[in-house]
Chains A and B, each alone.
Chain A
Amino acid sequence: MPFDIALITRIVPALAEGLTLTLTLSALAIVLAAAWAIPVVLGLMSRFRPLSILTRGYIEAVRNTPVLVQMYFIFFGSAMAGFRLSGFTAGLIALVLQNGAYIAEIYRAGIQSVSRRQMEAGLAIGLTPGAAFRIVVLPQALRKVIPPLGNQGIVIIKDTALVATLSVAELTFQARMLADRTAAVYEIFFALALFYIAITSIFSALMRLVEWRMRVVQ
């Protein structure tokens, strides 16, 4: 198998042209999905049945279709409907919609894993339900959701590679263009994998730092 290590040092700067877009899209998608998931989980756990049914329907719809299909739908569909969205925007919307649904489920699991007795204790000392939720339940739930949130963040970072098909000049796009100019397919995709590993490793380290800062001294 031909594997030219010296070639990799020349490939890396060429790929790095796409790094800014990958990082920007990943960061925006993670923050917006985590924010969008909050109203979604509130709708999901609402006692108003039509709202919770509607929210459940939305979650099932996006979880059961591939995010690439959703991206194509938004990218080409927006143009057909008359308001052209850029590949970046269409990709971002699809990532937020799909991962917001997954993160809402993560939030729900975190909240429901905090014992009912915590909520009852808060009410017993005279807090309103809202305050009890905010002061007693939420901090405990938050600590529980950090690890699965970290996982979902890594999923989002890897899924940004899909927007290469929408002509967004991020890392994977640069790799494909380079592959069509040189024969060095192995070296290019090896270097590309290294880029993604670097990004997800830094992100994981950040999440571990957050976990450590939020630890409870027993």
Chain B
Amino acid sequence: MKAGTIWKAATALAVAGFAFVGFSNSASAQASRLDEIVKRDKLLVATFGTAPPFCYADEKGQLVGFDIDIARLIAKYLLGDANKIEFITVTSEGRWPAVNSGRADFGIASTTVYPDRALRVAFTRPYIDSGISILVRKDAKIDSVAGLNDAKFTLANLSNPQMVDRQKRFMPNVKVLTFDTPSAMFLAVKSGQATAMQMDSPVIDWYATNNSSDLMALAENLGNIQGNAIFMKPGDFTLWLWLDTVVQELTVGSRYNEYTDVYKKWFGRNPPAQRFYAAAPR
């Protein structure tokens, strides 16, 4: 066989090999959930149904709240219509399998970022600051976290380990009841089954404002300022990058005005300024 033929054969084989690898690479690189959402023309979002003012059902049974409005903005940016969205309500421990199993594209559910959670889901940067506050019955006559640290009182928790850790750290003596939704915790405090509950500060503030006759929020926060973020199944860089960019633009960038509108609607005040050197808007 002539040397030329062998060279031609080798070159043809190499080109075919690269083409094959090249095409299959690009095919798998495009397999992002983001493309699936656009093709489906609808967002599927996991959320809570009972965590006012973030995500809860109003008197008409419609899901409303700060998280709901942020999710609708995301639908508007991606699909052009804030109504091309379907919400899936989940319980506290059900939110992780909801995104990891693929039932939902992402979750936005008053969910605080913690390192152990970040092992199992991917978080965007936080879209709102949070911290943990305590709602307490006025008739218990408690005015501090230390006052709650007594075996004659009962604290209502959610099922996640951070709640357990905080209770052990700040109030080791208190009795504990564990529920799976913020509304069950609230019902426990309102009915008297529990003396107090711990939850994200905006949720506590909302409950305290709407039940000021018999409930109040303690002034102290438990622990640090924290962040609530959107979470999704890990591994999909394209989806994560886009969502994280959207949160960036909402909180400190080009969509800050729309973020401010939603923030003022639910919290009655301006969000933190875009830059430390810039004044807060309006």
Contact = CB atoms under 8 A, between A and B. Distances in A.
A79 to B, nearest CB: 4
Given A180-B160, A183-B100, A167 B192 contact: no
A76 B193 contact: yes
B191 A76 contact: yes
Interface string B122-149: 0000000000000000000000000000
B178 interface: yes
A176 B180 contact: yes
A176 B92 CA distance: 9
B81 to A, nearest CB: 33
A79 B214 CA distance: 15
A75 interface: yes
B178 A84 contact: no
A153 interface: no
Given A180-B161, A183-B120, A79 B193 contact: yes
A109 interface: no
A79 B160 CA distance: 25
Interface of B is mostly: mixed
A177 to B, nearest CB: 5
A80 B180 contact: no
Nearest to A173: B178
B120 A75 contact: no
Nearest to A76: B191
A14 to B, nearest CB: 13
Interface of A is mostly: helix
Interface in B144-169: 159-161
Contacts of A76: 187-188, 191, 193
A176 B192 contact: no
Contact of A183 (B96, B159, B179, B188): B96
B177 interface: yes
Contact of A185 (B92, B97, B160, B188): B97
Contact of A167 (B100, B120, B160, B177): B177
Contacts of A167: 177-179
A79 B191 contact: yes
A87 interface: yes
A61 to B, nearest CB: 22
A183 B187 CA distance: 29
Given A180-B159, A181-B161, A80 B192 contact: yes
Interface string A72-89: 000111011010100100
A179 interface: yes
B93 interface: yes
A77 B97 CA distance: 33
A170 B187 CA distance: 21
A193 to B, nearest CB: 16
Interface string B183-219: 0100110011100000000000000000000000000
Given A76-B188, A87-B177, A180-B159, 20 more contacts: A76-B187, A76-B191, A76-B193, A79-B191, A79-B192, A79-B193, A80-B191, A82-B192, A165-B179, A165-B180, A165-B184, A167-B178, A167-B179, A176-B180, A179-B97, A180-B92, A180-B96, A180-B161, A181-B161, A185-B96
25 contacts: A75-B193, A76-B188, A76-B193, A79-B191, A79-B193, A80-B192, A82-B192, A84-B192, A165-B179, A165-B184, A167-B177, A167-B178, A176-B93, A176-B180, A177-B93, A177-B159, A179-B97, A180-B92, A180-B159, A180-B160, A180-B161, A181-B161, A183-B96, A183-B100, A185-B96
Give 3 nearest A-B pairs by CB, closest first: A180-B93, A79-B192, A167-B177
